[in-house]
Amino acid sequence: MLKHLALLLYSGMLFVGGWQQAHEPSGRAERARSIGLPVSDELVQASGWAMIAAAVALQLGPLRRIAAVGVAAQLLPITYVGHRFWEMEEDAQRMQNKIHFFKNLSMIGSALYIAATADA
């Protein structure tokens, strides 16, 4: 029961983040384009829907491992593009993005742990 609760709580952040990506893609796509990546609004939307699908799939035993690997792979570029704290000059903005950067790294680590320990 504890494992199911943990997966549900973990998936909550993925669902919320995916929903925001799917419904508000422009700022995220523009941020990626500003560092030279050819990212369209539609790609960001698709990424959001994929994150929502992964959040659901994490609740299903047979899909858990592949969903967790997908989440880890998806969060790597999102983290690098979205939270470039090392480029920010304003202290408050830098700290906020640093927090989100390391939060995402912990989510990547959690996804990898889920993938490594998921029942095959």
What is the CB-side half-sphere exposure of residue 59 using CA atoms within 13 A?
Answer: 12
pLDDT tens digits, one per residue of 36-86: 999 999 999 999 999 999 999 999 999 999 999 999 999 999 999 999 999
Question: What residue numbers bound the domain in which 49 lies?
Answer: 2-117
Residue 56, both tokens: 């659901």
Number of domains in the chain: 1
Q: In angstroms, rounded to a whole number, what is the distance separating the alpha carbons of residues 86 and 56?
A: 33
Interval 93-105: pLDDT, tens: 999 999 999 999 9
CA 43, 45, 59, 13: dihedral to nearest 10 degrees? 110
3-state SS of 41-82 is: HHHHHHHHHHHHHHHHHCCCHHHHHHHHHHHHHHHHHHHHHH
